[in-house]
């Protein structure tokens, strides 16, 4: 079974740091781009960051650029998100999700599957 399990969430003060982890199993982790997606309380989904299979390319959303760092350890099938200079507005459930790419009827498509169960990050004084 393909599975992603996040950990590392918790309560942190504004300006603090936190490191999230996501452990993958059941699929060739080193072959896939991986993502972090977050969801603030009562809000929609927001893509946070992506990392390609060999870590060659890293991408960030504007709201976290310069504060968050994505990384991975393919030997340990693990994905990480280092979150620094945290703000109250970073409060959310953080999900890791695998990026899938396929070609259907000559068109390239992307979708996220599977997703982890999420880990809650609360930034508050």
Contact (CB, 8 A) for 36 and 20: yes
Site track for other proteins across 75-104, x = CB under 8 A: --------------------x-x--x-x-x
Q: Between residues 7 and 13, which has the closer beta carbon with respect to other proteins?
A: 7
Answer yes or no whether residue 23 interacts with other proteins by CB under 8 A.
no
Give the tokens for residue 30. 């080193």
Q: How many of the chain's residues bind other proteins (CB under 8 A)? A: 26
CA–CA gap between residue 10 and residue 123 (Å, rounded):
8
Q: Between residues 27 and 112, which has the closer beta carbon with respect to other proteins?
A: 112
**How many CB atoms are located within 10 Å of the residue 39 CB?**
15
Residues forming the site for other proteins (CB under 8 A)? 37, 44-47, 50, 59, 61, 95, 97, 100, 102, 104-105, 107-118
């Amino acid at each position: 079974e393909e599975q992603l399990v996040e950990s590392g969430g918790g309560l942190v003060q504004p300006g603090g740091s936190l490191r999230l982890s996501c452990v993958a199993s059941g699929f060739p982790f080193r072959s896939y781009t991986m993502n972090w997606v977050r969801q603030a309380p009562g809000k929609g989904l927001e893509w946070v960051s992506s990392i390609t299979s060999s870590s060659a390319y890293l991408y960030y959303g504007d709201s976290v650029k310069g504060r968050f760092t994505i990384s991975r350890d393919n030997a340990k099938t693990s994905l990480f998100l280092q979150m620094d200079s945290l703000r109250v507005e970073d409060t959310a459930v953080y999900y890791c999700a695998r990026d899938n790419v396929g070609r259907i009827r000559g068109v390239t498509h992307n979708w996220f599957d599977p997703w982890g169960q999420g880990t809650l990050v609360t930034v508050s004084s």
